[in-house]
Structures are given as structure tokens and as C-alpha cells.
Amino acid sequence: MTDFARTKAVERYQATRPDLEHQLAFFTKLWAIQDEFEGKAVQYSPAGAHEARTALVQHRTLLSLVRPDVPLDAYRDAVRAIAVLMANDAGLGEEQAAALADSDLGAAVSGEALAGALSGFDVFVTSVAASLDDARLSEPLLSFILTEAMTPFLRKAAKAAVASAGSFDWLQWDSGLCPSCGTPASSGIVRDEGNLQGGRRWLSCPVCRTQWEYPRLRCARCGSRAHQDLEYLYDTEDQGHRIHLCASCHGYTPVAFEKELGVIGVPEVEEVTMIRLETVAAERGFTPLGDDTSPVAH
């Protein structure tokens, strides 16, 4: 399945941001792999509307009500495909690239481990790392591959689960964790709401790509509303892309602003454009998840 909006966004940045050439080329290949494997996702039937809304109010994730069935063989193949892409196109060091070429990451994923992945993804990654037993492969690298391989098998399920909740007020979810799968948001987009002062912010999940509304003037990591601790990091020549910093937890969230962009933002593409700003945030001592998060989703 090809995402037209994503394709157009990539083409726009290819024409206007030559500095993003390599990053966009890599992620375009990654998204193509995910699109290919989405066709192998198992059909999903979500919980009913009442059960879904009740779960959200109680801070229980939608996919915990009816867990998607991720097919083992197809998931293993997706892991292998992304591992090859990483080895060849991600610009990894020689040792890590060789480790990916030498190892069969797909074979290291057991059915038992995969079945528990949505309940505890960190534990899942650790189990795969232990099975591989290769010091050259760091857990952050393995986490990226295993996470990106999960996306095509969860997108449709998450979309169906969100639809089942109907007209739920997503501000009631009140968390920076995904209401579908519980993953911390990877970014946010402030949608252009026309005459609405400032617009509304929608966070995006890096795994199932669910989007949900979250207050603009609040840290998506620790929930702080202390204005003196919150600020934006941005390039004055590109105010459509900013990093929301929180001095309370030292966490940050990339945020795109549609009004300044002049177009509809596509989360996964806008995230690529903010990698450089994330590096600056990291140099200042901030981290993607911060050090004082309080997860509520389960």
C-alpha cells in the first residue's frame, strides 16, 4: 500500500532540502518494506465502542482488549528485510554492518517472545539480543529493527481499534503514550485549525502510527505543565519544525507546525526533517524520553 500523502511530502523535501537526501532515501526504502508487509497482516476485529471507550478512560490501551495476531514467519521476514537495509544503507559502522550481515535476526525471534511483545517490548528486545548473543549488536539497534518490523502488522489493527472508539475525546486519554499500543509518542503535529488560536497538537506513535490529541502546553514525556520549564528549540529560518524541551524531566518531543509549513504534515516524514534538531537537543542534555516519565498505559 502506497501512502500518497507521504510520497508527496518526501518529494517536497527532496526538492527543497538537499541536506536530507540520504536520510529520505533510507526511510523511503524502509517505508516501502513496511508497505509490502502490511499486506501480510492478519485481519483484525476490534472491541466494541463501549468497551473501547471504557478502557481509554481507565488508561488501558485499545490493542490490549483484543491483541492483534502477528504472524511469526512474516514478521521474521520483515525483520530480515529491514536488517539487510540497515546493513547496506543506514551508514552503520563496519563492525555493526558486518554483524547484521552475519546474523539471522529473524531466526532469533521465537513465537513465545513475539506473542509477548505488545505486553513488554523492552523484554522482547532483550530476549532477541540474548538469543543472538553478539556484542556487536546493541539493543538500541535491535530495538529499531524489531520496532520498524512490527509497524506493518499493527497499523491496520490500530486504525480499526481507534475507529471503534468513535467520537472519543482524546484529551481524556491524557498521556504521551499511544492509546492503541502504549508506545511513547515519537513526535507531534500542531494542525492548522484555521481561526482556532494556535491549533491543536496531535501526537504520533512510532510503532502503530496512531495519532491522538494532547495539550500543546504540556510535556509529552512527564506531563509537566510548568511553563517556565517548557520551551521550543528551532531554527529561525524554519519555524515549522521545532523540538519541545522540558527542563523538568530533560525530555524532548519533535513537533511540526502546519501553519508554518503551509502543508499538511505527515508525522513519519516530518520526524526525518528534525533529526538535526534532535542532535542539538541531545547535546544540551535532553533525551527522547526524559528521565522522569510516568507510564500509565497497560
Q: What is the pLDDT of residue 15?
A: 95
pLDDT tens digits along 9-65: 999 999 999 999 999 999 999 999 999 999 999 999 999 999 999 999 999 999 999
Residues 146 and 200 in one domain: no
> Within 13 A of 182's CA, how many CA atoms are on the CB side?
20
Mean pLDDT over 244-270 rounds to 95
Residues 18 and 158 in one domain: yes
The answer to whether residue 256 sits within a structural domain is yes
The answer to whether residue 240 sits within a structural domain is yes
Residues 230 and 176 in one domain: yes
pTM: 0.92
Last residue of a domain, one of 135, 164, 193: 164
Residues 66 and 91 in one domain: yes
pLDDT tens digits along 134-185: 999 999 999 999 999 999 999 999 999 999 999 999 999 999 999 999 999 9
Domain range for 148: 4-164
Distance CA 23, CA 233 (A): 21
Last residue of a domain, one of 111, 143, 164: 164
Residues 14 and 147 in one domain: yes
The answer to whether residue 248 sits within a structural domain is yes
Closest alpha carbon to 176 in 229, 228, 118, 218: 218
Q: What is the pLDDT of residue 294?
A: 47
